[in-house]
Structure 1
């Protein structure tokens, strides 16, 4: 599971617990300018995972780490797909972040509000 927050002009994804071990990541920082949007998407877990380059994949249990699909890197950290959020990125190492969060709707709202707030 991950905690997601906005710190100034940066989206911070903090990976928690043993998921750090399974995904080989503890934190991702993405400039808000490179975030295209976010959706709560429990169906994302059915997407093809592609080739795992690092991390863990036990179908029906956990998908965590970096995977390549059609030349794009996707970061996964999902155990319970009901809490999955998909964050679309541009000009980043990853094309998408698919992660489990405590409250998907609140997380999507947080990201969407950060993307629509006026620049200082």
Structure 2
């Protein structure tokens, strides 16, 4: 699971618990100017992930780390697709972040509010 917050002009994603080990990341900081928006997407867990490099994928259990698909790099950190949020980025290492959060609606609202200012 991840915690998403706004710190100054950055979107900060903190990876929690053992997910740090599986995803090989503990924190991502993205300038807000490079965040296009966010959506809650409970169905994304079933989407193709692409090539894992590096990361962990146990089908139906856990997807965490960096995946390459269709020329894009996507960061995944989900177990429960019902709590998945997709954060679209531009001019960053990752094209998207797919993270599980405690409250997807509140997280999307937080990101959309920060991006619109």
Alignment match, 1:76: 76
Give the ranges of 4+ consecutive aligned residues of structure 1 lying more than 6 Å apart after TM superposition.
Answer: none
Alignment match, 1:34: 34
Alignment match, 1:102: 102
Alignment match, 1:15: 15
Query: How many Å separate the matches in 1 of 2:51 and 2:10?
Result: 29
* TM-score after normalising by structure 1: 0.96
Q: How many residues align?
A: 117
User: By how many angstroms is 1:70 displaced?
Assistant: 0.6
Query: How many Å separate the matches in 2 of 1:71 and 1:45?
Result: 20
What are the ranges of 5 or more consecutive residues in structure 1 without an aligned counterpart?
none
* TM-score after normalising by structure 2: 0.99
